[in-house]
Structure 1
């Protein structure tokens, strides 16, 4: 078995959460689909459309006011979140690194239930992701940038939307 996750760490800007990090749910990279049935046919298909909005969730064991203070920022005042992961091969013993860099906003915060003197920590939602780059050992697996457009999109090192960006002249002129 290769690429078995053996540890991870999350940063919000320069806030290192490794001592208080409890759980991480990384964004699901998924295409929205458009159902289509050709006229005069009896079989339908679904065509891939845009990539759905990305959202991550993390849970910390404490309610740190530095992280809590990130909630409520507005677009343009983005937070850079970075996920570091250690991947281990059970076959060869080799360690590999995975890094996901995201820019977005901390859009939600939920205090866990307190029972007696115990609390389970705090849940955070990291959404409005405008930049996402998933890199394994220096290779971009997925890279999306809302502001750079489809010409900057990478999927497994390839740009499937380069022709679209060229046809729409997205990379030229003064961008408004």
Structure 2
């Protein structure tokens, strides 16, 4: 399978992939309670984050068949326009602000690339596509360390197989689920 940068015309599909992949993620479930509401809110959220990361010099990588997507941003450079979150409720925005705040507090210093979201369509999961797509980005960045937050023990296992190591204790927004910071040397 080919892994490459997403074309601008593929952004809607990549946002759909990320939203589907993160529908049952513990942080998503906490930030956007209720399955029906989450199905509406996640595309708004992911579009805002993707646009912010791309504006900051990030990359959106996809599998050639558009079954998976990874959003990369330069460490500490995730910028989002508040207007991009139009359509989310005040409660949702408050929970997101709490998540972003705790993530910023625990983010490493120095130069690194942040794998913000690694998502695979449910029908293509457990086939190694996400790992290969993530490795594509790791290879591209070469000499620069990589960082991410694992939101499940299963995703942490995958990231460890790719050379990531725990980077401090898990952290969480007040009342939210834990996220495990992970670091990978080049």
Please give the TM-score of this superposition, normalised by the length of structure 2: 0.30
Q: Which protein has the bigger strand share?
A: 1
Q: Which protein has the bigger helix share?
A: 2
